[in-house]
């Protein structure tokens, strides 16, 4: 056992114990709060799931905002995301969610304060708490946790990618099996279990592109391109949330020339992080992630019924 991972695990257990016993305060917003989170650091599909959940809520006429930390932004404090703004000010994933869903997204280190601002500025029914499973200082009415096959066999930080061990799923209301996760690998007794399919929409992609990305699990993106029949001429991998600069563009152009590629393909998040450099990489195909929830109508019914029952129990 890695000693640093042992120390990290002890800290996680102590923190959860104090929250469970009421030693740490938990604050509540007036609006209904639905949390979407995971066990590991990045790559489980939280952002595509938040977008999917938002689309399902919109289809039912339910209004909502999204509360996000705004990872990677260079600003501080609580602010409303401007869809046409920069990832440096709001973070790439909040911008992506704001652009895809067209709903208010509020970023802030303190999600409670972000929620208060949202309730002051907007008249909405629900909050979606992005990456909220470990943000226990804010009460939630329904807790959704995504798991992947890697989560069942991975180790705690810093030896692995886990922020919490799978036994933490006891706090979840619904567990989402992503990337083909096996339900038998997780403690799911008494839990609502949902399954999602995740893929890409590979339209107008150059015949032999250079594929590049700065995401948590780049191998998934490359595998999805192959599954979609895209013949990649070369690959360039950057760190998650990579902010592109002119030297990156020069490197990519050289790679296209040396690999005899006829263009580029990347993710929506990378397109946001390219900012003004986007036009220098034409032709560039941006492939959105598409996530589907199996039996979505039943899943939504279960979630909304559970929330309604809990609200009745509090009155």
Q: What is the CATH number for 115?
A: 3.40.50.300
> According to the model, what pLDDT value does residue 183 have?
96
Q: Is the bond preceding 74 in cis, omega lying within 30 degrees of 0?
A: no
In this structure, the answer to whether residues 127 and 72 fall within a common structural domain is yes
* Range(s) of the domain holding residue 271: 202-287
Average pLDDT over every residue of 183-204:
94
Same domain, 280 and 192: no
Cβ neighbourhood burial of 5 (10 Å; 0-12, 13-18, 19+): middle
Is pLDDT above 80 for 184? yes
**pLDDT, tens only, 262-276:** 999 999 999 999 999
Give bridge partners of residue 196 from the DSSP assignment.
293
250 in a domain, yes or no?
yes
**41 and 184 part of one domain:** yes
User: Three-state DSSP class for 278?
Assistant: helix
Sequence-distant (6+) residues with CB within 8 A of 19 are 26, 136
Determine, yes or no, domain membership for 3. Answer: no
Give the residue-averaged pLDDT of 10-17: 96
pLDDT of residue 176: 98
Same domain, 223 and 306: no
Per-residue pLDDT tens over the stretch 81-139: 999 999 999 999 999 999 999 999 999 999 999 999 999 999 999 999 999 999 999 99
Quick one: 49 and 132 in the same domain?
Answer: yes
Average pLDDT, whole number, for the chain? Answer: 96
127 and 267 share a domain?
A: no
**Whether residues 153 and 86 fall in one domain:** yes
Give the model confidence (pLDDT) of 38-73 as tens digits: 999 987 899 999 999 999 999 999 999 999 999 989
CA-based nearest residue to 86, from 307, 310, 276:
276
**Taking the CA atoms of the chain, what radius of gyration do you get in angstroms?**
20
Q: Is the pLDDT of residue 1 over 70?
A: no
pLDDT surpasses 90 at 312: no
> Per residue in 206-251, pLDDT tens?
999 999 999 999 999 999 999 999 999 999 999 999 999 999 999 9
Reported confidence tier of residue 2, pLDDT bands at 50, 70, 90: confident
Residues 279 and 296 in one domain: no
In a domain, 22, yes or no: no
What Cα–Cα distance (Å) separates residue 216 from each residue in 47, 239, 293? 12, 7, 22
How many domains does the chain fold into?
A: 2
What does the pLDDT read at residue 203?
87
278 & 308 share domain: no
Establish if 85 belongs to a structural domain: yes
| CATH for 211 | 3.40.50
Beta bridge partners of 66: 105, 128
Is 192 in the same domain as 252? no
pLDDT given at position 315: 65
pLDDT reading at 314 higher than 80? no
* Distance, CA of 19 to CA of 7 (rounded, Å): 19
Q: In whole angstroms, what is the distance from residue 97 CA to residue 155 CA? A: 30
């Amino acid at each position: 056992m890695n000693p640093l991972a042992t120390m990290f695990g002890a800290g996680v257990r102590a923190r959860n114990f104090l929250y469970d016993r009421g030693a740490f305060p938990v604050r509540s917003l007036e609006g209904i709060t639905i949390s979407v989170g995971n066990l590991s650091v990045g790559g489980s599909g939280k952002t595509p799931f938040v977008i999917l959940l938002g689309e399902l809520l919109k289809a039912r006429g339910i209004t909502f905002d999204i509360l996000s930390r705004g990872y990677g932004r260079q600003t501080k404090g609580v602010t409303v995301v401007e869809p046409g703004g920069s990832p440096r000010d709001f973070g790439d994933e909040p911008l992506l969610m704001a652009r895809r869903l067209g709903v208010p997204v509020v970023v802030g280190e303190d999600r409670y304060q972000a929620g208060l601002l949202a309730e002051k500025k907007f008249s909405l029914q629900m909050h979606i708490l992005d990456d909220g499973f470990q943000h226990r200082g804010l009460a939630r009415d329904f807790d959704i946790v995504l798991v992947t096959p890697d989560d069942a066999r991975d180790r705690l930080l810093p030896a692995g990618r886990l922020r919490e061990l799978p036994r933490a799923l006891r706090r979840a209301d619904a567990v989402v099996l992503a990337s083909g996760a096996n339900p038998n690998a997780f403690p799911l007794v008494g839990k609502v279990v949902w399954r999602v399919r995740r893929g890409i929409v590979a339209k107008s992609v150059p015949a032999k592109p250079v594929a590049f990305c700065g995401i948590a699990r780049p191998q998934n993106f490359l595998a999805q391109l192959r599954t979609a029949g895209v013949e990649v001429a070369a690959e360039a991998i950057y760190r998650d949330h990579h902010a592109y600069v002119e030297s990156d563009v020069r490197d990519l152009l050289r790679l296209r020339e040396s690999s005899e590629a006829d263009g580029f393909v990347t993710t929506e998040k990378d397109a946001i992080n390219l900012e003004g450099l986007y036009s220098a990489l034409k032709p560039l195909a941006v492939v959105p992630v598409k996530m589907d929830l199996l039996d979505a109508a039943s899943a939504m019914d279960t979630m909304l019924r559970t929330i309604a029952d809990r609200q009745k129990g509090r009155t």
